[in-house]
Amino acid sequence: MRVLGIETSCDDTGVALYDSGAGLLAHRLFSQTALHLDYGGVVPELASRDHIRKALPLIRAVMQEADTRPDQIDGIAYTAGPGLAGALLVGAALGRSLAYAWKIPAVAVHHMEGHLLSPMLEPDPPAFPFTALLVSGGHSLLADVQALGRYTILGESVDDAVGEAFDKTAKLLGLGYPGGPAIARAAQDGDPKKFKFPRPMTERLKTQGAHPGLNFSFSGLKTAVVTAVRNRALTPPFIADIAASFEQAAVDVLAIKCEWALERTGAKQLVVAGGVSANLKLRERLKQLSEKLGVRVYFPRPEFSTDNGAMIAYAGYLRLAVGQHEPLAFSARARWGI
């Protein structure tokens, strides 16, 4: 089965062709980062308009690269949520219409399910069941993944997502958007022990060593950075120390929660995905943790940590393979629980 995937949930137009026999045939990504640069964040209307401009040329390019005609495509997968409503509608309308024109099924994919399954595109992939940490700009969650579509949320952020905390901290330091890679770069020259930032909701309780659960909170960490930066000159060494101390605190929180989640599920596989999983310090730390616990950890290749069309094509293939597809009417959901 050959599936075309379309991702337009935020500021990346991603398109890919996945083949169940041959694997990923081609994928293209157009990042709108430059378009939104002057605004300090993604402007939804500009994002929608640019998806309209870029999606079809990317689809043509991917089909050409994979030497694939429309009659060789068996289904189309598009991201239907969660994300920016207008941006989602571009991909949903395009995906649904092409599927109608080509007389093939279309399937709506949950963006976070795309991230969740993205490590399965790599050689030697994980198999169900596993425990998953999903960390992106909009979500931080831990899930017990039993099978395709059978996900039990173990914990999620009660306030900011971890990627959002990276983005806000970067903005505060004048490092631009997206913040994650900028913080990681700045942190390379900094001292992670220079500032004692909090690790919210990670203190073991005094009674019987019980822990405060698997939910996350990142707004307190962000506030601590705001306080540390107040009335200080943003010199490069100061920025580097703040970035390194912040990154260390965020990585510590994620690693502690992963350990508790694995304790609870008893899983022998940990899957880590979403934009923040591109972070090398986090990868290093979770590899150490997995060795300590005798668990295998899986990541997508760094380029597929952040938004892309390949993960949507793959998740769509799995859904189509079990007979799922959409009626002619379609919708996009800005909010959608996994």
Of 110 and 199, CB closest to Zn ion: 110
The backbone torsions φ and ψ at residue 150, rounded to the nearest 5 degrees and listed phi first, read: -110, 90
Q: Name the minimum Å distance from CB 137 to ligand KG4.
A: 3
179 binds, among Zn ion, ligand KG4, none (CB under 5 to 8 A by kind): ligand KG4
What is the rounded CA–CA span in Å between residue 8 and residue 52? 9
Bridge partners, residue 216, by sequence: 157
Omega into 129 within 30° of 0, i.e. cis? yes
CA distance 142 to 171: 27
Rounded to whole angstroms, how far apart are CA atoms 62 and 150? 31
Q: 279 among the known binding-site residues?
A: yes
Q: How far is the CB of 104 from Zn ion (least distance, A)?
A: 26
Select the binding partner of residue 312 from ligand KG4, Zn ion, none (C-beta < 5 to 8 A, by kind).
Answer: none
Please choose, from the candidates 100, 102, 103, the residue with its C-alpha nearest in 3D space to the C-alpha of residue 328: 100
- Annotated ligand binding at 180? The verdict is yes
Is 167 a known ligand-binding residue?
Answer: yes
239 binds, among ligand KG4, Zn ion, none (CB under 5 to 8 A by kind): none
253 annotated as ligand-binding: no
Q: Is 247 helix (H, G, I), strand (E, B) or coil?
A: helix
> Is 138 marked as binding a ligand?
yes
CA–CA dist 318, 55 (Å, integer):
23
- Alpha-carbon Rg of the chain, whole angstroms? 20
Q: Which is nearer to ligand KG4, 137 or 190 (CB)?
A: 137
Among all chains, which residue has been given the structure tokens 């997508």? 300
Which strand (E) or helix (H) includes residue 69? none
Can you name the residues that pair with 243 across neighbouring β-strands?
A: none
Taking the complex as a whole, the smallest distance from the CB of residue 265 to ligand KG4 amounts, in Å, to 23
Is 134 annotated in a binding site? The answer is: yes
Tell me the closest approach of the beta carbon of residue 185 to ligand KG4, in angstroms.
9
Residue 144 or 307 with smaller CB distance to Zn ion: 307
Least gap, CB of 98 to ligand KG4 (angstroms): 24
Q: How far is the CB of 138 from ligand KG4 (least distance, A)?
A: 5
- Please identify, using beta-carbon distances, which residue of 167 and 241 lies nearer to ligand KG4: 167
Q: Is 115 annotated as a binding residue?
A: yes
Interacting residue ranges for Zn ion, rule: CB under 5 A = 136, 307
Q: Which parts of 200-310 are beta strand (E)?
A: 269-273, 296-298
- Interacting partner of 138 out of Zn ion, ligand KG4, none (Cβ under 5 to 8 A depending on kind): ligand KG4
Burial call 320-336: b when 16+ CB within 10 Å, e when fewer: beeeebbeeebebbeeb
**CB-based contacts of 122, cutoff 8 Å, min separation 6:** 298, 299, 300, 301
Q: Which does 279 bind (CB under 5 to 8 A by kind): Zn ion, ligand KG4, none?
A: ligand KG4
User: Which lies closer to ligand KG4 via its Cβ, residue 32 or residue 131?
Assistant: 32
**Which residues contact ligand KG4 by CB under 6 A?**
10, 136-138, 163, 166-167, 178-181, 184, 274-276, 278-279, 306-307
Integer CA distances (angstroms), 92 to 13, 32, 52, in order: 12, 19, 11
| Binding-site positions for Fe cation | 111, 115, 307
- List the binding residues for substrate: 134-138, 167, 180, 279
Known binding residues: 111, 115, 134-138, 167, 180, 279, 307
